[in-house]
Amino acid sequence: MPKILLIDDFHEYLHQSMQGKFEVIDCRDCTPSEVGSLLHLHQPEGLFVRSKVFIDKELMVASSGLKWIGRGGAGMDNIDEVSAQEMGIVCFNTGEANSDAVGEHTLSMLLGLLTRLLKANSEVKTGIWDREGNRGTELKGKTVGIVGYGNTGSAVAQKLRGFGVEILAYDKYKTGFGNQWVSEVSEAELLSKSDVISLHIPLTTETRNWINKSRLDQCKMGIYLLNLSRGMTVDLLAVEEAIERGQILGFATDVLPVEPPWKDLDENRKRAFERLMELNHTIFSPHVGGWTVESYRKISIILFDKMLKLYDIDSNFL
């Protein structure tokens, strides 16, 4: 039977589905420093991982027969895909598994900014009744720009349809996706026209600090900015400066450059985050946009199905 190593926690569906069909080495409780020795010891041909450790070339060669790596999640930035391709190792992820979760989280963050809901809730709980100070802004009639039109970006667009907004979308590597609800536009048009900008892009050398001073200077005054992709795609210092000059009215992010942020060794960035935390028009969540009860199970279902396709096995016959 094919030998498979798990080094992260996955829904029981994955474990149960593989019983009796694959030799599974369950090391979900291992530390990042132990992954290399586990690969060397067990010599698996398959590896399931989430975010515990960066899978570099050194780890890949530790198992001489490694054929594939399955990533439980959307991002592939914790896998050296270039080395994997050179070594003939197939890499796959589950971006479609949590797109609905991220889409809903995006909408909740956006509505939270517009309605000032978190501020109002906190004040009422501390005995403050301030109606005027919590006057909200309606989403209807605004222009929402989606950067990255993959699984999550398209899910956000689908969920925005009932809000009476104009939806713009830009994707450097994708074309022909415009429809009656979504206008496919250039980067420059999206930046200049959007009242709301929502990021749904992978972290690559091209997208690192994608939101920076140069791009923010191309935006209109009084925008709302959301990041549901990767923390390193946004320059927090540039965001802080834009908030100070009134160009950004609200900022919400589910991701940060270093997680958790108190482990960030970049003191300037860490101080920028701390100052942003003190503001009433910022919202943060601990990278849970795609982490729902439903997506947790769907990730394992899709991982299992994609693994079976590698072996040319139909899951209905197992």
**Could you tell me the two tokens for 73?**
């999640």
User: What are the CA-CA distances from residue 302 to residues 38, 43, 200 (Å)?
Assistant: 25, 24, 21
**Could you tell me the two tokens for 33?**
């420093």
The CA distance from 264 to 288, in Å, is 19
Query: Are 152 and 99 a contacting pair, CB within 8 Å?
Result: yes
Active site residue 161: no
The CA distance from 198 to 163, in Å, is 16
The counts of H helices and E strands in the chain are 12, 12
Termini Cα distance of the chain: 14
Buried b or exposed e, range 225-252, using 16+ CB within 10 angstroms: bbbbbbbbbbbbbbbbebbeeebbbbbb
Active site residue 215: no
The CA distance from 226 to 210, in Å, is 13
Query: Are 11 and 18 a contacting pair, CB within 8 Å?
Result: no
> Which of 50, 71, 230, 269 is labelled catalytic?
230
Query: CB under 8 Å to 162, separation ≥6 — which residues?
Result: none
> Which of 96, 166, 189, 259 is labelled catalytic?
259
Task: Spell out the alpha helix ranges (H) of 217-280.
Answer: 236-244, 267-277
CA angle 100, 106, 112 (to 5 degrees): 135
Buried b or exposed e, range 149-159, using 16+ CB within 10 angstroms: bbbbbbbbbee
Active site residue 274: no
Active site residues: 230, 259, 287
